[in-house]
Amino acid sequence: RIAGTKADQEMEEYAARRFREIGLQDVRMQPFNLPPQWFALDWEVSASGGGQTLALKTAFPSARSAATPAAGLDLDVVWVGAGTELDYAGRDVKGKAVLITSFPTPSANIHTASQNGAMERAVQKGAAATLLNIYLPGNVINEAGGAQGLPSFAIGNEDTAQLRRMMEKGPTKVRIKLSTEMRANLTDSNVWGTLPGATDEEIVIFAHHDGYFEAAFDNATGSATMLGLAEYFAKIPQAQRKRTLKFVSTAAHHAGSPGTRWMYDNLSGAMSKTVLVINCEHTSITQQYLQGPDLRRSNAINAERRWVNGNAKLGRLALDAYK
């Protein structure tokens, strides 16, 4: 559900339809023009060495990755472990592709290479491309942050293992091709719905509707939570709803967040009656454990990270409730 695409629009239409079915009032779209957006059009990554060729089928370009020349790039590939300064020590990576392994802490978005500066070092030391393996069992396709200005790809564990075995036997090259484009004139929309309350003070509950791949966790879980709250409070008589509730499926979280930026910019205007804003952001996932070569799901809900901003008293109330 990439922001500005047909799938993203379908999610907006779904949110509006569910709002009406639940019984929300004043259901409306609030469109935003998006800045030019990066899209990968076509790509391929393969490795060759010792007379063999290996297609890296899980290779997936990092968002805003640099394109290659139309003919592609043929590069020596260098293993740099976790990508720390010590891992790079003694390795000549100038003009070459670097292969980095990173461990999720706790996810494919937040991982050891993103925290230790591995990608920035690749740029500083003159690398020509990066291949990043997020250490998840199997051969998972995912999007992981790349090195600014370089062609960058995430690759799965099994592809990485085969590539490393090839490198262990002798010199190895990777062939990389990536074509991209910037698309202008895209739009995305906030979808609003209202449950009137006993007063005109407002509580705003929102969740962004764009995401990568199936986006079940980020952010279908948040959207489901937001819609579930709407369904719950719609069954409570208006006189018992102390405040008006506004529900919003917000636009383009992964493309500049114009939907929530508008709310912030209008705190003293259109949002002046708002007393509380609740952001439902990837709200539910089961705990998982890495056991040898397997990633195992548990029967427990993963720990949640919660933020309270703008009101210290609300933060204390929440902590006291937990205690």
Decide: 46 and 178 in contact? Cβ < 8 Å: no
The pLDDT of residue 217: 85
The pLDDT of residue 158: 94
Indicate the SS3 state at residue 264.
Answer: helix
Among the listed residues 290, 4, 40, the one whose alpha carbon sits nearest the alpha carbon of residue 154: 40
> How far, in Å, are 63, 147, 320 from residue 314 at the CA level?
37, 39, 10
Decide: 205 and 245 in contact? Cβ < 8 Å: yes
pLDDT-above-70 percentage for the chain? 99
Q: For residue 313, with 0-12 CB atoms within 10 Å meaning exposed, 13-18 middle and 19 or more buried, which class applies?
A: exposed
Decide: 202 and 188 in contact? Cβ < 8 Å: no
pTM of the model: 0.87
The pLDDT of residue 55: 97
Residue recorded with tokens 């006993």: 198
The pLDDT of residue 297: 82
Residues of the chain with pLDDT under 70: 107-108
The pLDDT of residue 290: 75
∠ Cα 287 254 26 (to 5°): 100
Strand 173-183 to 274-279 pairing: unpaired
